[in-house]
Structure 1
Amino acid sequence: LKDQLSDEYILILRMHYLVSENINLTAYKGFAYDFSNHNDIRELYLISDILITDYSSVFFDFAGLKRPILFYVPDIEFYRDKLRGFYYDFEKCAPGPLLKTTEKVIEAIHKTKHYKQDENLTSFYDQFCYLEKGDSSKKVVEEILG
């Protein structure tokens, strides 16, 4: 990733707590930044152009921004069939491409330069994010103040 993308991109990593302590990013200085201990992941969503995740539920929150989501899932068969499975048809309905290799992730990142919201993200947004209109505070104030 660094070799292919560091001229245009940086990585902001928020890793699972069981993993983050075991990752040394020294070789990726200036490209990869560890925000695993950052308290509010929502702030990281706002400054991110693309979300790259695996099976984490963070994509439900990020989808509300209608920005590209890429799923790095090299072990999807194992995860689906033996480890945990899915609550819904993830492979059919994921709001972004399912990618099994680093090369495919790099290709997908380059494609986001010409990003148009795809059908899966639109459908996902309509199903899970339709209440997120960005005017909740206004509604609360109007309700309280009449």
Structure 2
Amino acid sequence: MLALSVQDHVSIDRKYRFIRKWKTTDAAASDGARLREGLLDKTNTASTVWADTAYRSKTNEDFMDKQGFVSKVHRKKQHLKPMPRHIQRSNAGKSVIRTRVEHVFADQKSQTGLFIRTVGITRATMRIGLANIVYNMRRFLFLQRISTTA
């Protein structure tokens, strides 16, 4: 039996934190290429793209610029050199927003016990898709409770 590691790439609504788009890939696949495969959404509540360094490339930066998105993708440290202070501060500021996406993954793992053990990417994609739907439903119920108590 072949063990397969998968990744869930998500695009979330910045204001309400719903998963708007997602893609499941083999973990060996390049993260950066996923950005151009339909994860970005012009109808989202913001045109800014917040992502980690795996999504930073000249190709992605050009793509975002041409599509009208504002890049807030983390910058990489140069190999064997210390990271300049201004880049550290910039990345720290970007991390404040980017943590919203990380909370989605943490919620899925802690609340639903998301651990996927399947044979094949199709089954893994189905399980991750269902986990994303469950997350959105739980998020909707949470927001609804807040609005009724306010």
Q: TM-score, normalised to structure 1's length?
A: 0.29
TM-score normalised according to structure 2 size? 0.29
Q: Is the strand fraction higher in 1 or 2?
A: 2
